[in-house]
Amino acid sequence: MASHNQLVKEQLQHMLFGTLLFVCLASIAIALDMGADSIVRIGGVSRFTYLVIETMAHALLVLDLCLFVLYLYKSSITLVKEIFS
């Protein structure tokens, strides 16, 4: 039983650290979006450059969220299997 509890604890820690990683990646996307907005205010940058940076920030955030949902799904399935095995 102690081994079973240890496996569950390790899986929950794995999920926590994975979540922190995805939060860091989302923070990068948010910083990129904020940087794109500040570039427009400074001036001297073409509209195309702004749109490319903004689009990449949005794409990074969407990709991060999709991968995070898949990660949580896979980790939850593994956790449930460890709990009931």
Domain housing 35: 2-84
Question: Tens digits of per-residue pLDDT, 6-38?
Answer: 888 888 898 899 999 999 999 999 999 999 889
Instruction: Give the count of domains, the chain.
Output: 1
Question: Tens digits of per-residue pLDDT, 43-78?
Answer: 888 899 999 999 999 999 999 999 999 999 999 898
Token pair of 58 as six digits = 């949005």
- Can you give 15-79 as a three-state secondary structure string? HHHHHHHHHHHHHHHHHHHHHHHHHHHHCCCCHHHHHHHHHHHHHHHHHHHHHHHHHHHHHHHHH
Q: Tokens 């509209």 sit at which residue?
A: 47
Is the model's pTM score more than 0.85? no
**Distance, CA of 33 to CA of 55 (rounded, Å):** 9
